[in-house]
Structure 1
Amino acid sequence: MTATFYTIIALVAFATNSLLCRMALMEGAIDPWNFTILRFLSGAICLGIIITLHTHRLKHQTQTVTSFNSDSNTDHNNAAVSAILADKGSWLSSVSLVVYALCFSLAYVDLDAGTGALILSAAVQLTMIGWSIYQKEQLTVLQWLALACALIGFVYLMLPSAAIPSFTGALTMALSGIAWGIYSIRGKSCVSPLRATGFNFIRSLVAIPFLLIVAISHWVGISMQGVVLAVISGAITSGLGYCMWYVAMPLLKSTQAAVVQLCVPIIAALGGVLFLSETLSLRFIIASIVILGAVLVFILNKKTV
């Protein structure tokens, strides 16, 4: 139940993030460079505040428990807290985060929503499943069939809306997907999802001076709507959403995490219907049943692996 809860929250955050980015960039409210900068700044500030409060609470609890107890359980708890406080993410994860976010925004300038989502998801799946196979994770026949059905349903949903992409846009989105796959895989080894995500965002601020070199020429075209969408994307759907995903990742196998993420385009499409007045087609309904049904079969088959 815990894995399911955190996974659902993370997937909704991802889908919402896609909608926010689509609204901001497609309508020209902001350029991808400044969108990425504001996304990282707001995410780092939000998570920095939360980490500070969380650290203070952990230290206070440790001092309180130690002052009243001195048994082996107390030592074990103190060691666990020390491990949490020592988790500060990594530079590789931060680089993956920067590459993912920037390429994601840049690609949507040249690609339509269907093409971008198809390339991004395909790159993520190939990266994560490829890693799991490299790690010798075994799949049952039923899991292979479920994976195939989910991919078929996804292609069935997305291909009709996919225009021929530009080579640059397609390559950029593929790089974004590979980076996000790496970021997700590395989430399995973190001790504290909150601290790892927060420090990864804070490290990402090192890239801002380089992004500003290009972004400064686009300042005139930024609207308040673009700023608000970028801040929400950074502080809530990116920062907090990635924390939820880092919590879920250790509870899922790499292949399960890969297949579950196929739900994101479905959730995003539903959000488009509810908030952007997009049309809910029969093709979407059929694809949703195929994809979500296949994902459910794949996850329920986990116990037989």
Structure 2
Amino acid sequence: MTPLVGLLTLLAMLAFAANSLLARAAFSTTDIDPASFTAIRLASGALTLFVILRWQGSKPTSFRSGGWSALTLFIYAAAFSFAYRDISTGAGALVLFASAQLLMISYGLYKGERASVLGLLLAFGGLVAFLVPSASAPPLSAAVLMALAGSAWGVFSLLGRSQGAPIISTTSSFIWALPLAAVLVLTQVQQLNTDAMGVVYALLSGCVASGLGYAVWYWVRVRMTAIGAGAVQLSVPVISAVMGVALLDETMSLHSVVSALLTLGGVAWVSLTIRNTKG
């Protein structure tokens, strides 16, 4: 990995972690509601990606799985926003990441790939231990919503694997998700509320952490091995937790830290073995 690829990879992981931090900051320090945050994030992300495409001389095009990709992107973004009303930055990122990775791993196993059973059990066991009712466990409703967000993101990622131009397909998905965001806003009209700082957080999440973050990641992704690309994403929940502690005064108990490490370790174990032994 060259120094430039390494630096941009770090920036991409910081952007992914910043999505969690920005959402949690918005709902814990401002009055913006989840539906408004979701709509602003998707709209600003779509605009940013569209500008990047036009700068490159490209444009969004139709593709076979576009409708499903837009739906899963919307479900991810909406569930992500509603979950972060009641879950800490690091806990939310862990549930999101683990749910997405475990869904994709399960799909791979279903399709005949092989992986470490012990690693899979370790990942599931760590996640269950993290979520088991305790003084430090996140609220069940928020954890379920974040697991839904992670599962939707996992499906979105699987659908995107068949596309040859990920930035084009992702831009199209963002654009096609906007009508769904509009419907969400209409159904939540009685609960809508915004303020200046909440809108700023949503715009930063859409333009910088999502739009620019995804563009940078797709550039470095093709310059990394599959194992490297999977392993580096293990840093996102850790970065998110550190950001939450440093910037939002959040805390994590020893039980949560150990459970999180078991989950991430199990996912890493499975990710490495599934790539080394399949086929």
Q: Same fold (TM over 0.5)?
A: yes
- Mapped contact 2:95–2:127 kept (Cα < 8 A): no
Name the structure 2 match of 1:172. Answer: 145
Name the structure 1 match of 2:68. Answer: 92
Name the structure 1 match of 2:159. Answer: 186
For 1:49, which of 48, 51, 76 is the aligned residue? 51
- Listed as ranges, the matches of 1:11-50 within 5 Å are 11-50=13-52
1:154 CA displacement = 5.5
Quickly say closer, same or farther: Cα 1:231–1:277, change in 2 above 3 A.
same
Question: Secondary structure at the residue paired with 1:109?
Answer: coil
Quickly say closer, same or farther: Cα 1:218–1:297, change in 2 above 3 A.
closer
- Mapped contact 1:150–1:291 kept (Cα < 8 A): yes
**Can you give the 5+ residue segments of structure 1 that lack an aligned partner in the other structure?**
57-83
Name the structure 2 match of 1:267. Answer: 239
Name the structure 2 match of 1:105. Answer: 81
- Mapped contact 1:150–1:262 kept (Cα < 8 A): no
- Mapped contact 1:101–1:176 kept (Cα < 8 A): yes
Name the structure 1 match of 2:183. Answer: 210
**Can you give the 5+ residue segments of structure 2 that lack an aligned partner in the other structure?**
none
- Listed as ranges, the matches of 1:184-263 within 5 Å are 184-219=157-192, 221-244=193-216, 248=221, 252=226, 257=230, 261-263=233-235
Distance 2:61 2:199 in 1: 34
Shifted more, 15-24 versus 266-275: the winner is 266-275
Quickly say closer, same or farther: Cα 1:214–1:237, change in 2 above 3 A.
same
- Mapped contact 2:76–2:152 kept (Cα < 8 A): yes
Distance 2:10 2:123 in 1: 17
Distance 1:35 1:85 in 2: 24
Quickly say closer, same or farther: Cα 1:135–1:34, change in 2 above 3 A.
same
Name the structure 2 match of 1:136. Answer: 112
Number of aligned positions between the proteins: 268
1:10 CA displacement = 4.1
Deviation digits for residues 29-71 of structure 1 (CA, Å, limit 9, x no counterpart): 3100100111011111111111111126xxxxxxxxxxxxxxx
Q: Which amino acid aligns with 2:154?
A: G
Quickly say closer, same or farther: Cα 1:31–1:123, change in 2 above 3 A.
same
Quickly say closer, same or farther: Cα 1:9–1:27, change in 2 above 3 A.
same
Distance 2:93 2:270 in 1: 22
Distance 2:256 2:122 in 1: 15
Shifted more, 122-131 versus 280-289: the winner is 280-289
1:97 CA displacement = 0.4
Rg (Cα) greater in structure: 1
1:144 CA displacement = 3.9
Distance 2:201 2:267 in 1: 31
Name the structure 2 match of 1:162. Answer: 137
Q: CA RMSD in A?
A: 3.7
Distance 2:256 2:196 in 1: 33
Question: Secondary structure at the residue paired with 2:31?
Answer: coil
TM-score, structure 2 normalization: 0.76
Question: Secondary structure at the residue paired with 2:32?
Answer: coil
